[in-house]
Every structure is written in structure tokens, then in C-alpha cells.
A and B are shown apart, each in its own frame.
Chain A
Amino acid sequence: MTNSALIALAATILFDAFVSGTPLLLATVGEIVSERAGVMNLGIEGMMLVGAMGGFAVWFHTGNLFFGLLIGMIFGGLLALLHGCITIALRADQVVSGLAVTFLGTGLSSILGAPYVGKRVPVPLNITVPLLKHVELQQVLLVIFGLVFALLVWYYVNRTRPVLNLRSVGEYPSAADSLGLNIQRIRFTYVVFGGLMSGLGGAVMSLITDPGWVDGKTSGLGWIAIGLVIFANWDPVRGMVVSYFFGLLRRLPLDLQNPALPLISTANNPSVGRFMDMLPYLATIFVLILGSREALRKRLGAPAALGVPYVRGEHS
């Protein structure tokens, strides 16, 4: 294999990693913002699924990709609104509600999405880019969007005034309350934002990165996103980096099927490919076990009021 071919292969793998990491990035950054406002959202998987299903269905009927993405995003936001009503307004346990919302999202997407399984998919628009040869225009735009989005959110949570409200609500809500901030409204805003981004992440999967709808389309990506939040120390730019890394992990088994790589080709050693398929989930389990230890989570820098409903007059 020549040098230039090797470089081209590396470039392709890298680009694929960025593409497949972007849905994860959207969900992770959304969850980071939600958790920094003090609300843990374990319903991401469900929100991504309804986003993926809703987005695909709308595209299928209208043929408009943008419209599909928008509706997918709104579906995710609606589920997050439900999660917000249960946990913020009714002050129920965030873990229980999150799991219930995931079940709901999984079930809804499975039933409503049944007619769309295996249907035709959006035709990509190919363009030529140096090194990468033929790539899909949508994917290029998507990667750019993801990058810009993560940087904007980073800027927002580090350099603007409204974020003081966000952080105070997640760290010490009594302080925010004593100054007259509306804690419930702030928390609702950011939880719904997280849901919108999860829904968009799902829609992006079924329409751009991996077009088509099947049951359980997101294959646990929502759970990985929750793990990545801890990996990222609740920082959007770190969230972006780890999302791309996990994107790479997800793509490698596919890209390495290239028979030109006899030694490491997964086409010849299927068990290697399956092992690599497993890695992101293994890493997520590991992170979630670590993250479930409260003392450790605090030391990693979790928002102090994460998971605690706010009741005026109660001191933690």
C-alpha cells in the first residue's frame, strides 16, 4: 500500500469519526448544559430515538431534510418538557423519571416508526474534497455545525452573564432564589434545550450520518452521551473532544474492513471487529460506575445541586 493511499485512508477514518461523533456531541453538550442547571436527564436515549424516528418520518413524507431535522429536534424537546414537568414542577426523582422517559421514547419510536422500517433513504449529495475524494455535502455541513455549536456553547457557559444564573441554579439554588431568580423557569429552559439537542442528534443519525430507520436506531448512544458528560467534566469543549473520540471508536470497525489492511482488517478477523464494537459500551459502563459514586462525582466537579429538586427553605 502506498503512502498516499495510507494518508487517504487515515483522512477518511478521521472524517468518519467526526461525522459519527457529531450526534453524540449534540446530545452530550445538551446534557452538559442541563446537568449544570442541576437536572440529570437519563431520558436522552428516548429523546434521540423519537428524534430519529420523527425526523425520518417527516422527511419521508415531505422530502425536506431541513424540516425533518427540525421536527426531530422538537420531538426530543417535547420529551424533555415532560421530564421537566415530572422532576422540576412535581419534584420527582430525576433518575426514575429519566428511565421512564427513555422507556416511553423507545416504545413510541418503535410503534410509530414501524411503517418506516427499511424504507428508502435520503440521497446524499456528493462533493469532492482534497484527500477525502467523494464525501457527502450534508456530512461536511454537519461536522462544521457541530464544531461551531460546541464552541458557541462553551463561550456561553464561560463568558456571558445569563450563565451565572445557570450555574448558580445548579450549584446553590438557595442563592439564586434569595436574589429573586426563577429557579424552575431556568431549569426548564436548559432541560428543554438538552432535549432539543438530543432530538436533533437522533434526527441527524437517521437522516445524515447513517440514513434510514430501524427499531432501536440509536443503539444506546444516549447512554454513552450520559457517560461522556462525566468524562468531559461538564465542559462543552471537552465534551466535543470525547464525542469525536467515541465517534472514532464506533467507526473503526467499519473502516478497518478494508481488505487492503491484511493484518488488522476486521473483514478477516470478525471477532476483532466485534470486540471493537463493544469498546464504547464498555467504556460507558466503566464511567457510569465511577460516576454513580457520589463522593467521586463531587470531586470530578459535578454541579453540587445535581439531582436535587429545589424546595424553598430547605438547606442541603
Chain B
Amino acid sequence: MAESADAFEMRGIVQRFPGVLANDHVDFAGRVGEVHALLGENGAGKSTLMNVLAGLYHPEAGEILIHGQHVVLRSPQDAIANGIGMIHQHFMLVPNQTVAENTVLGLNRPRFFLNLRKIEEQVQALGEQYGLSVNPRAKIWELSVGEQQRVEVLKMLFRGAKVLIMDEPTAVLTPQEVEGLFVTLRDMTKRGHTIVFISHKLDEVVAIADRVTVLRRGKVTAASVSARGVTKAQLANLMVGREVIFKVDKKKAKPGDVVLEVNRLCCDNDRGLPALREVSFQVQAGEILGLAGVAGNGQRELAEVLTGLRCTTSGTMNFNGTLLNRHTHWLELGQQLAHVPEDRAAVGSVQALSVAENLILKRFNRPPISKGWSINSIAVKQNAVKLVKEYNIATPTVETHVGMLSGGNLQKVILAREISGHPKLMVAVHPTRGLDVGATEAVHKLLVEQRDSGTALLLISEDLDELMSLSDRLVVIYEGRIVGEMPAEGADIRRIGLMMAGTKAES
């Protein structure tokens, strides 16, 4: 294939945030008609670099060329005017407006009167042209995540974007949707679009990209190498800077008694609509039960119900012989029932309290931490020092506020608190989301250790690879119903994907 021209080029980009050099003289370019993957761990500076290209950040040094011409991008509007559109990881769509309304949001045309009919036709036609069919009259909240992503792509195409930046586009998709997305991306490159594909998932990068650039700690460690000639291991090495073990090391599970039995459980979501519909399952001691599903199918509500944060509407939960309901004394249960919540900053910890204080949140009311009315500050400190050492938490002092810690260390604080109470059941929601490879390894190891010591674990995650490698059994949730159950070993990822998308198990 003949070398085609650069659609855009970034030279020597330097972007600094307080205390962090996010981009250190980064060069990056995308050719017309290619998928160029930008690979790196969290915090490597991928998103920062792309926010510069999308006009959201203004670099301290460096220059940007579009088709060989110098440009200064002062705002996202400048970027779009130059044919650059960014699709953010969190979709930038207004939930209660229609597809067509979202497509024209922020444009200067039409001037005042809105002829939605005409825009709907245009959106429809554009969608058909690119194979991105979506009903232009549907409200965004009615759409699946995959459809919302199509709307984002359409929104950018409608604005005439030639370069599309996609920030972790596959993170929220089922395996089938990922395949569909890849077909679309291939089709778009044939039409002369340039795709920048940001990811930390090596398989996908190898599958879709023409060229790969790897960032580590703000620096380029591999510049525009062809994706044909590299292996996953090489890329991982470039990304992390050391050898990475992909497989979680674990022995065969030895399941014991049933610790949690959930029977025909129902509950409502925040809008008052049913979130769980007659969910039934069991978790045994010494096993990890993985709950697979696309975000928003009731996982969060299930975790909240199990940990007493949300009321049920019907059904029962039997925890170790006691029924959990509105009469349950949750504080008494405290340490037996561990919760690693989805939102570690707002739910899992108190940001304004110190590491030591966060570590006693579940046992401040019993000895040796409390003595009668008061808290024994020496015991608090001893407890903290011990756990920080045991769990390898990187913190300047135990008096440091947890708000200052990195995501991985914050998660270790939460895990240390929950695990040190010797729980019988642990509900872990997205335990490694947003963590880098090193921290993920550590968390996985802790979870498997818990299992081996006889705790029953319910693992809720969107990362199928994580679920498949950690869990002993898998259940799939779709629209608040359990639609399938299988042993994790040898499970067919395609079949799970179909179930996650709502197709019933055929057996």
C-alpha cells in the first residue's frame, strides 16, 4: 500500500498539570485512511494528548498541523471546523433529547427556527450511508449504549469530521457490538477518514489498528509502529515497562456452604422503574461468582440491595441463615458483609478523612478501636500502620487524607478495610476499573486470596476478560433478569456476549 498523506500531525506537544507532566514532547500523526491506535495505561497521557487535538486543552509547547497547514485550536469548535471530532468515553449526549436534536446541538445552522423533520431526514440518510442505522426521533435514554455510540459518530460525521478520535470506545460494548464497531471503522477508513483509537486493551489494538503509538508516563515509547509486526507481549512491555502476566494465577475452587441465597428479588431504580426482576442465585463459601452484563442492567441496584443501600420491593435475601430486609441491623452485620463499591471516592471512602480513619470505618464502634465513648487513637494508628504494610498501600503517612491517594492505592485502602474484618461475603463492583495494570494485578491477587480463605465473593464487572479469569461461575444479567448461568472455565465468550445483549440461552 502506498504511503498516504498525514491527515494531522502533532509535534513536540507539552502539557503540564499541577505536579504532573502529562505530555512530554509528544509527536503523533495520523494518515488519511488509517486506524492509528494510541496505547497506554491510565494516566499515561493518552486522553490529555487527544484533548489537545480536540481543542479542549491548550498545550504549553508544540504545534499542530492539519493537512500540512499550521493551525491553532482554541476550542472544540475550532477543532471541528478543522475536521477533527472527538468521541469521549462518557458520551456527550443530552439524555432527554432526540438523536436529531443531539446531532445539531451547538451548530449555527439552522439560524433560528428548527425544522426537525428535515434534520431527521438528513440524519437518517447519513446513517444509512455509513451503515449506522439509528432512529433519529428516539430519545437518547431509550437507546442502548451501542446505539448511543453510533449517535456520537453520526454527530461528528454530520459536522464533517474527517479525523475521529475515539476514547476507549469498546469499554462499554458487548463483544458483538465491538465487532459491529470495527466493521464501521473499517468502512470509514475506506472513505478516507482517519481514526485515532485510544485503548489499553491489547487484543483490540492488534485486531483493528494499522499503526500503533505507545505512551508511557507522558512519553512516546513506540512511535507509529505497524500493528502487523508486533505481538501483544511486546506492546504490553512497551506500555508498562516490564513483563506482564496476563493470566490470573489461581487454584481450583473448593466451594463450601451456601453463604448468600437470593430468591426472586425485585427492586426499583432511582426513577422508580423496575431494576431487578425476580433475580435468584446463590453464592457459596470459597467461590467467586461473576455477574456479567452491560452497564445499567441492574448490577448497581443489585449491589446496593445486597449491602443495605436500597430497599427491595419483593423477594428474599438469605445471608448465612439470617434474612436481610428492612429490619436487619446492617451495622451489626458490618464486617461480615464486605462491600467494594463502584464509586470508591464517594461511596467507598470518606475523602476528607485520613487513611487511618478510613481504615476503621467499619469497626470504630467496638474494641479495641473504641473504649466506651471515645476512640483509642493509639489503636487506630497501630491498625493503620499494620494494614498499610500488609496491603502495600503507598501513602506518605497514615494521617494523609485519602483524597490525595491514587485510584489504585485508594482501592487498596478499601480492600484492606473490608478484608481485615474477615467477611463471609464480599460484593465487589468494578474492583479494577480505572486502575493501571500493576494495581489491577494486586487487586486480583487479593480477591483470589479471599476466595481461598473461604469467603464467598460476588464480582460485578463490565470487563469480560476479568470476569472470565477471576470467576469460578458466571451469571449473566440483562434488563434486571438473570438470563444465563455457566461455569467460567471454558465458557464461550460469544455466547456470553449474546446473552448480555438480551438473547436467551438456548440450552
Contacts and interface: CB of A to CB of B under 8 A. Distances in A.
Contacts of B105: 164-165, 168, 175-176, 179, 181
Contacts of A103: none
A133 interface: no
A161 B104 contact: yes
B272 interface: yes
A298 B271 contact: yes
A181 B106 contact: yes
Given A161-B113, A164-B105, A298-B271, A180 B92 contact: no
B42 interface: no
24 contacts: A160-B112, A161-B109, A163-B114, A164-B101, A164-B106, A164-B114, A165-B105, A168-B105, A168-B106, A172-B92, A172-B93, A172-B95, A175-B92, A175-B94, A175-B105, A178-B56, A178-B92, A179-B76, A179-B92, A180-B55, A180-B75, A180-B76, A299-B271, A304-B95
B76 A168 contact: no
A211 to B, nearest CB: 38
Contact of A168 (B78, B80, B94): B94
A175 B90 CA distance: 9
A160 B86 contact: no
B92 A174 contact: yes
Given A164-B101, A174-B90, A179-B76, A295 B106 contact: no
Interface in B189-242: none
Nearest to B119: A161
A209 B411 CA distance: 63
Given A161-B114, A164-B101, A179-B105, A299 B272 contact: yes
B149 to A, nearest CB: 14
Interface in A168-201: 168, 171-172, 174-181
B75 A295 contact: no
A161 B102 CA distance: 11
Given A161-B112, A161-B114, A299-B272, A172 B94 contact: yes
Contacts of B112: 160-162
Nearest to A180: B77
B317 to A, nearest CB: 23
A160 B104 CA distance: 12
Contacts of A165: 105-106
Contacts of B101: 164
Interface residues of B, number: 31
A175 B120 CA distance: 20
Contacts of B272: 295, 299
Contacts of A167: 94, 97
Interface in B57-113: 75-78, 80, 86, 88, 90, 92-97, 101-102, 104-107, 109-113
A101 to B, nearest CB: 29
Contacts of B102: 175
B270 interface: yes
Contacts of B92: 172, 174-175, 178-179
A315 B105 CA distance: 20
Nearest to A294: B270
A162 B107 CA distance: 9
Interface in A17-32: none
A223 to B, nearest CB: 28
Interface in B117-152: none
A167 B139 CA distance: 14
A164 B75 CA distance: 20
Contact of A160 (B80, B106, B113): B113
A61 interface: no
Interface in A293-316: 295, 298-299, 304, 312, 315
A73 to B, nearest CB: 24
B49 to A, nearest CB: 15
A304 B95 CA distance: 9
A176 B56 CA distance: 12
Contacts of A175: 92-94, 102, 105
Interface in B284-325: none
Nearest to A312: B56
A158 to B, nearest CB: 9
Contacts of B80: 179-180
B97 A164 contact: yes
Interface in A110-145: none
Contacts of B110: 161
Contacts of A162: 112
Contacts of B111: 161
Given A159-B114, A171-B95, A315 B106 contact: no
B94 A179 contact: no
A178 B86 contact: yes
B165 to A, nearest CB: 11
A146 B75 CA distance: 40
A177 B75 CA distance: 10
Contacts of A164: 97, 101, 104-106, 114
B94 to A, nearest CB: 5
Contacts of A176: 94, 105-106
B270 A295 contact: yes
Given A176-B106, A181-B105, A315-B90, 18 more contacts: A162-B112, A164-B101, A164-B105, A164-B106, A164-B114, A168-B97, A171-B94, A172-B92, A172-B95, A175-B92, A175-B93, A175-B94, A179-B77, A179-B106, A180-B106, A295-B270, A298-B271, A304-B95
